[in-house]
Amino acid sequence: NLTTVAELNGDLIEFTSAQYRVEQLGFDGYGLTLSEPSAEGQGTGSFNMNSGELTFADLTVIANSISARARDLKLIYGDTLQVNGDVAYRANVNRVAQWLALSPDADSLFWFGTAEGNVRFASDQSGIGLQTDTNIKDFVAAQQSPVVDQATGPIVQASNPLRQWNALVQDPKLRLFGGIKIGHDFDSIVFENTQLESESLTGSISGTADAISTRMLVDLKGNWKPDWSKINSLVAFYAGETLQFEGESSQSFAIRGPLFETPAPDNNNSIVAQPAAWLPSDVSGTANFGWERGAVLGLPVGKSQFDVSIDQGIATITTDGIPFAGGAIKFAPRVDLRTSQPVAKMDST
């Protein structure tokens, strides 16, 4: 439904007091699946029929997942989409994560919180630029796990067991700010010193990600500073209960190459499925991480740092020694990432 007061001046249509409501709003494309029961709002602006420029002096949007207000927002759709202007918004993190399919199955990580922020759009020939400053309150990353003791509970089907939530990371406030540019084909991103600040983790990232829908070709670098005591549960989600660390120290990383393999055609130009590598062999990168103290397989260890390098599908890990039982453990394992399951080889030093 749309109601408005409009006035035609040559090629310009000016509208005031426009009010709208859309039922069952949906969109599926560019890696985004949007499904809202309804969206409504109001606006004032103009449309230039000659240039195709749609301008909103003021526009509001209210939906289940997000509410926003835009000022001096300009949309031009010619050969490419141009977006310029300022938007303030408030969003439900869990619902927006569903748009992006960040939790595809019951065993995934699920994301929660309330995001409030501002975005300034500035487009040019290379893409749609965003300068953002967003605060997420009561941020939680959680997983579901089956309830172990169901003896006194109701009988349930084995295919639909009872599950409970386990919070892996909790932050009262998380801030995300910096620059991002999205390519006009929505298949590339440029990170311009995009930064994250929270009690659990701080960091920044710069670089590019191209061919997002296929190979995810990246050239990224940055730094991060974890508070290990606050993210150990998240580490256990990926690495199991074998590692527990404490302390804070600045770490750096760099990675370059495709994160996913591209299926190779055969002699008939048909796509042939190849054995999946854990990481494509043409990826290269470096990283380091350290801790003040911790435990490996339940055994206490002292302060140390790992340096990791990846080249042609082989990850090499070096350390200056892990303090243990009055001495130090030194080793330089190499991990073969060229198969579906990484294979480690230990070289004692």
pLDDT at 271: 47
For residue 301, name the pLDDT band (cuts at 50, 70, 90): confident
> Cβ contacts of residue 118 below 8 Å, gap of 6+?
86, 87, 88, 89, 132, 133, 134
pLDDT at 66: 96
Instruction: Report how far residue 279's alpha carbon sits from residue 84's, in angstroms, rounded to the nearest whole number.
Output: 38
Convert the pLDDT of each residue in 19-32 to its tens digit: 999 999 998 876 78
State mean pLDDT over 180-189: 92
**Do β-strands 32-48 and 12-29 pair in parallel, antiparallel, or remain unpaired?**
antiparallel
Q: How many CB atoms lie within 10 A of CB 169?
A: 21
State mean pLDDT over 211-237: 91
Q: Residue 155 pLDDT > 80, yes or no?
A: no
Residue 185 phi/psi, 5° resolution?
-90, 0
Q: Residue 143 pLDDT > 80, yes or no?
A: yes
* 5 against 148, higher pLDDT: 5
pLDDT at 160: 53
Instruction: Report how far residue 128's alpha carbon sits from residue 183's, in angstroms, rounded to the nearest whole number.
Output: 6
Q: How many CB atoms lie within 10 A of CB 167?
A: 13
For residues 151 and 162, is the Cβ–Cβ distance under 8 A? no
Cα 233–237–242 angle (5° rounding)?
A: 75
State mean pLDDT over 149-170: 65
CA torsion, points 97, 98, 99, 104, in degrees to nearest 10?
110
If you search the block for the tokens 């995934």, which residue do you land on?
A: 108
Average pLDDT in the chain? 86
pLDDT at 181: 96
* 2 against 19, higher pLDDT: 19
Q: Residue 9 pLDDT > 50, yes or no?
A: yes
Convert the pLDDT of each residue in 33-80 to its tens digit: 888 999 999 999 999 999 889 999 999 999 999 999 999 999 998 788
pLDDT at 214: 86
Q: Residue 242 pLDDT > 90, yes or no?
A: no
If you search the block for the tokens 């991990």, which residue do you land on?
A: 335
Which pTM does this prediction carry? Answer: 0.80
Q: Residue 349 pLDDT > 60, yes or no?
A: no
Q: Which of 70-84, 200-214, 303-317, 328-342 has the lowest mean pLDDT?
A: 328-342
What is the Cα 82 distance to its own chain's centre?
A: 24
Task: Provide the β-strand partners of residue 343.
Answer: 336
Which DSSP category does 83 fall into? E
Share of the chain above pLDDT 70, in %: 88
Convert the pLDDT of each residue in 327-340 to its tens digit: 777 777 888 888 87
pLDDT at 321: 73
Q: Residue 266 pLDDT > 70, yes or no?
A: no
Instruction: Report how far residue 128's alpha carbon sits from residue 75's, in angstroms, rounded to the nearest whole number.
Output: 11
For residue 190 the two structure tokens come to 């440029």
State mean pLDDT over 123-144: 94
Instruction: Report how far residue 334's alpha carbon sits from residue 311's, in angstroms, rounded to the nearest whole number.
Output: 11
For residues 272 and 263, is the Cβ–Cβ distance under 8 A? yes
State mean pLDDT over 241-268: 79
Q: Residue 265 pLDDT > 70, yes or no?
A: no
> What DSSP letter does each residue of 27-87 carry, written as one string?
EEETTEEEEEEEEEEEEEEEEETTT-EEEEEEEEEEESSEEEEEEEEEEEESSSEEEEEEE
Share of the chain above pLDDT 90, in %: 49
Q: Residue 148 pLDDT > 60, yes or no?
A: no
Q: Residue 272 pLDDT > 50, yes or no?
A: no
Q: Residue 240 pLDDT > 80, yes or no?
A: no
Instruction: Report how far residue 316's alpha carbon sits from residue 302's, in angstroms, rounded to the nearest whole number.
Output: 21
